[in-house]
């Protein structure tokens, strides 16, 4: 099958590209390299350096005619979305609409969409959150991801375009970008390996559902191979505080640095944890890499990069 992966030079997208090619699929990568890296792109993939907002996207669809789109291109920084909501909406909502219009016009059948579990639900009132949990995003990023799910539903009902939205937990692992505000595991890891002091926002008691990138890739493969539609959480169901994460990384890196706390950040959730029973029942997916094993793999990657 020919599959287009937007954001295929990025952290999660590049891992998905590798796995798709391993499975024998023909892969087209669309990425503007604003955050993705060319070195992440599998050499067997066809690459187009294009912004998903560009009118050039239509010509790529006309030429390549992908059957399925794995949509991972996005403005993914919660704090950046708070600082500039219009930029976030332009990238994440208008970019998606341009993509879906191209897909419908050129015969694509299905979209796998990288959504967000934590950001879409907002502050949870049940732990872990199922897909039926209320959605009250606390950031423009969360609003744009939730809005995108509604657009996918519209295109499904009106245009017949099938879709699966995967609401990711806090994904971490090799190739995650340590530069910027997103990706606390990568940021802390790089700083600790360099002997630099990381800063924990607030009291460090905020929790996240940390899910290893390899498990996220397998969730994508499971829904692609089983052709299931709908919305699914992709997480571990386990909450871990930022303070605990920091302590684990101190042990793994051998650092003797101490905790340093800074101010809280606007739009940042207090607690996030996802129930993944729905995807387990649908495609028999469950996370297989433990938090500590994933952290060790991530540290090893950063040591060698």
**261, 204 Cβ separation under 8 angstroms:** yes
| Each residue's pLDDT tens digit, 185-204 | 999 999 999 999 999 999 99
- pLDDT tens per residue, range 135-161: 999 999 999 999 999 999 999 999 999
- Whether 216 is in a domain gets the answer yes
The verdict on 147 and 247 lying in the same domain is no
Q: What is the pLDDT of residues 44-91, one digit of tens each?
A: 999 999 999 999 999 999 999 999 999 999 999 888 999 999 999 999
DSSP string computed for 82-112: HH-HHHHHIIIIIHHHHHHHHHHHTT--EEE
Does the bond joining 128 to the residue before it have cis omega, within 30 degrees of 0?
A: yes
Residue 182 has pLDDT above 80, yes or no: no
pLDDT of 170 higher than 80: yes
**First and final C-alpha spacing in the chain:** 33
For 197, the domain range is 184-207+239-272+290-304
Residue 181 pLDDT level (bands cut at 50, 70, 90): low
The answer as to whether 60 is a domain residue is yes
Mean pLDDT of all residues in 213-232: 97
Looking at the annotation, which residues are catalytic?
141
Same domain? 151 vs 27: yes
Write out pLDDT tens, residues 107-121: 999 999 999 998 999
Res 78: pLDDT: 87
Give the mean model confidence (pLDDT) for residues 217-238: 97
Picking from 34, 20, 196, 7, the residue whose alpha carbon sits closest to that of residue 114 is 7
| pLDDT > 80? residue 267 | no
Whether residue 120 is found in the same domain as residue 267: no
Number of structural domains in the chain:
2
Read out DSSP for 27-68? EEEE---SSS-GGGS-TTSEEE---TTSTHHHHHHHHH--SE
Give me the count of residues in the chain: 305
Identify the CATH number of the domain in which residue 198 sits: 3.90.25.10
**203 and 218 housed in the same domain:** no
C-beta atoms surrounding 187 within 10 Å: 18
Q: Could you tell me if 44 and 157 lie in one domain?
A: yes
């Amino acid at each position: 099958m020919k599959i287009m992966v937007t954001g295929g030079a990025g952290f999660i997208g590049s891992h998905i590209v590798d796995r798709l090619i391993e499975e024998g699929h023909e892969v087209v990568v669309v990425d503007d390299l604003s955050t993705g890296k060319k070195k992440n792109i599998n050499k067997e993939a066809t690459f187009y350096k294009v912004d998903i907002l560009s009118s050039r996207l239509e010509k790529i669809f006309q030429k390549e005619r992908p059957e399925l789109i794995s949509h991972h291109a996005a403005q993914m920084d919660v704090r950046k979305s708070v600082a500039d909501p219009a930029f976030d909406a332009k990238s994440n909502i208008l970019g998606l609409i341009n993509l879906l219009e191209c897909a419908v016009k050129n015969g694509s059948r299905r979209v796998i969409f990288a959504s967000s579990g934590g950001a879409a639900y907002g502050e949870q009132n049940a732990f872990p959150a199922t897909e039926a949990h209320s959605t009250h995003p606390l950031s423009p990023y969360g609003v744009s991801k939730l809005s995108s799910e509604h657009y996918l539903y519209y295109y499904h009902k009106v245009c017949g375009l099938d879709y699966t939205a995967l609401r990711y937990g806090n994904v971490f692992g090799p190739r995650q970008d340590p530069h910027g505000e997103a990706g606390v595991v990568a940021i802390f890891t790089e700083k600790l390996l360099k002997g630099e002091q990381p800063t924990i926002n607030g009291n460090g008691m905020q929790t996240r559902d940390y899910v290893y990138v390899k498990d996220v890739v397998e969730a994508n493969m499971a829904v692609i191979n089983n052709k299931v539609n709908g919305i699914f959480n992709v997480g571990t169901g386990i909450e871990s505080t930022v303070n605990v994460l920091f302590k684990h990384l101190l042990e793994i890196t051998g650092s003797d640095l101490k905790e340093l706390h800074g101010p809280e950040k606007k739009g940042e959730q207090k607690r996030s944890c996802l129930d993944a029973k729905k995807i387990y029942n649908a495609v028999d997916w469950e996370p297989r890499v433990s938090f500590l094993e994933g952290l060790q793999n991530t540290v090893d990657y950063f040591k060698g990069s």
